[in-house]
Chains A and B, each alone.
Chain A
Amino acid sequence: MGNQLFGWSDDKQVVLDPELLDEAAGRLKQQTGGQQLVDQLRNALAPPGAFGQIDGGLGAQTRLVHVLTSLQAELAKVGLDMEDLAARTLAAREMAIQANADTTHAANSGVPHGAR
């Protein structure tokens, strides 16, 4: 049994079912081109301009880009499937968003797992 998986949405942690995450990632790969997912993931992990002109922002962005570049290089060394990682990332995000929305709805309506 592996470690507990957590998805994130809105600064909230959501426990993910590994099997469901695998299934969702597989669906995403089928529905969306794998390379497209990879490109989107790369852009999303280090977007340009988000840090603004605040002092220290440029340095922070540089560090972020550096860690992403290093990460990509190391991932390439072991030959990990980036398409799969991208699909899993998006799937985790979708599941976390859905779980958060359902939780909020249930809390507000008093109806657990109720249809929204």
Chain B
Amino acid sequence: MADYDFYDAYDIIQSGQPYSLKQVADTWRNFAAACQSAADQLKGTSDMVTSQQGTPYQNFGARATPVANWMSQVANQANTVGTGLANAGAVGSSAQMEAHEQYATVSQKIDKIVGPDDALSVGKVNGMKAAEAEGAAVLNPQIDKWSAAYTSFNPGTVPAAPVTNGGTGSHVSTTTSTSDGTGATGGTTGTTTSTPTQTSQTDTERPIATDQNQQNPPVPPGKEDYPHSSVVGSDGKDFTGWVKDPRTGYLIDPSSGQEYDPTSGRWVDPVTGKPFGDVTQYSSRLEGLSGGTPGSMALGGGGGSVSVDPLFSLGGRPLFGGAVPPSLNPANPAYSQLAQTASNSMAAKAYAANALAMQEAQQGGRPYVPPMQAGVGGAGGSGSRARRGGLAEPESTWTGRTGARARAAAAESESTGQRGYVPGIQAGKGDKDKTKVRENPDWLVEDDVWSSGRHAARGVLGEDR
């Protein structure tokens, strides 16, 4: 059972790269497909050759068939590896999202404890420690879950390759030829892979091989499509740039924190966390939102504060499609408290959505630009002022931790509003992806195909620049 303090737990959770793990999982699974494809081809060749009479042909089959069977075993094992890694990646993504949200929540609590005068007292310090302990109580189980996913990851041992009866030097190629290195039998097959340069009509009708693939240089995967990205791409229409919560599957508006359940087609109550109201009859459930520009609020990847009145609107754009969540009925006697809870919850989710999106972008995910960084600290009123952005002293004052100090410095740097304002709706627009400023230079894009080991750029996640 993990027993870290809040900030240590946060750092440990953020040290993993679940987005990369998911990419690696896909690679193993596709490697399995490659092995199976090669095995099938070899087996087909073997069957064809052994159908002929003659010792050389039969000898070839005696060698090739076991290899093909072994390749199938390898494919199964590669699939097992991929499944284990995918599970670890999914658990890790949820843990990181939870950690981001808890970070924002703890910051909100500490802001409230410290108050506007920023003065500290023993009582306040104890209150802050209690808030951190509450956050740690949430994060430590997340570490345990992730650790359990790692522990259960058991790729097994690779089955021994079959020993051929041709002695040494046996060589099996799935694309060119299969020959006996010793020359004893001289069996050679011709399973040559064709490499056509023109597109046939048949090919164009198939969904997975397009003219683009045939006539132009292949677009490296990851350049236009971003598997596993939590950020909705241009296919999401008005939800473009929203972030999918890996824990629930809900889409989070990074500029307001409002949530939408694409499965049920309903908005999510910010207090209860449950979908409410009638099903929104959008044709695709990913269309129909009015656009709009985020209004004055403070939201930053490092600072993390959002001020939203969940009952009304964000920059003139109605939240929740204009519906009022049941828990925020003004007739409710506890309305004011619930509204505050909703506001804090939405602010924390907005912070977490931004942080997760930027984290994934640093690991080769969809390029992401936070909704805005301007106006930090100037949008009070909902009690969600960023702890580090609004306090005179960084959190390291209380914790004495280097990492926390660095994060505070980074947050303070970002809270100066040095970055330009970019509406959230622009993030991830497919047509604009090509012109968007990327975190990585173009020459690195191809590495995105395989990238998993690249480290995030310094400063983005709040560490020392």
Contacts and interface: CB of A to CB of B under 8 A. Distances in A.
Contact of A96 (B30, B217, B450): B30
Interface in B83-103: 85-86, 88, 90, 92
Contacts of A16: 33, 37, 208
A75 B161 contact: yes
Interface residues of A, number: 84
B34 A80 contact: no
B156 A67 contact: yes
Interface string A76-116: 01111100111111111111111111111101111001000
Interface stretch (B144-152, B311-319, B386-394): B144-152
A113 B117 CA distance: 61
B235 A105 contact: yes
Interface string B205-234: 111111001000110010011011000000
Interface in A28-57: 28-31, 40-41, 43-57
Contacts of B354: none
Interface centre among B2, B33, B74, B148 (most CB of A within 10 A): B33
B74 to A, nearest CB: 7
B157 to A, nearest CB: 7
B37 A18 contact: yes
Contact of B37 (A22, A53, A96): A22
A97 B453 contact: no
Interface string B133-148: 0000000000100111
Given A7-B30, A93-B27, A80 B213 contact: no
Interface stretch (B14-22, B50-58, B290-298, B437-445): B14-22
B158 A63 contact: no
B225 A97 contact: yes
B284 A59 contact: no
Nearest to A8: B29
A107 B284 contact: yes
Contact of A40 (B24, B30, B449): B449
Given A45-B31, A53-B12, A20 B208 contact: yes
A27 B36 CA distance: 19
B453 A85 contact: no
Contacts of A53: 12, 15-16
Contact of A50 (B20, B158, B221, B283): B20
A79 B170 contact: yes
A23 B30 contact: no
Contacts of B413: none
Contacts of B35: 85
A2 B40 contact: yes
B16 A50 contact: yes
B195 A27 contact: yes
A50 B24 contact: yes
A94 B24 contact: no
B193 interface: yes
Nearest to A42: B450
A69 to B, nearest CB: 9
Interface stretch (B106-114, B171-179, B324-332): B171-179
A78 B166 CA distance: 11
Nearest to B217: A31
B151 A21 contact: no
A79 B147 CA distance: 37
A85 B38 CA distance: 7
13 contacts: A2-B36, A2-B43, A7-B33, A11-B26, A17-B206, A17-B209, A22-B193, A51-B16, A52-B14, A57-B150, A64-B85, A85-B38, A110-B284
Interface of A: 2-3, 5-11, 14, 16-18, 20-31, 40-41, 43-57, 59-60, 63-64, 67, 70-71, 73-75, 77-81, 84-105, 107-110, 113
Interface of B: 2, 12-17, 20-31, 33-41, 43-44, 67, 70-72, 74, 77, 81-82, 85-86, 88, 90, 92, 143, 146-148, 150-151, 153-162, 164, 170-176, 181, 193-196, 203, 205-210, 213, 217-218, 221, 224-225, 227-228, 235-237, 283-284, 286-287, 447, 449-453, 455
Given A55-B2, A85-B31, 4 more contacts: A22-B193, A101-B225, A101-B235, A108-B284
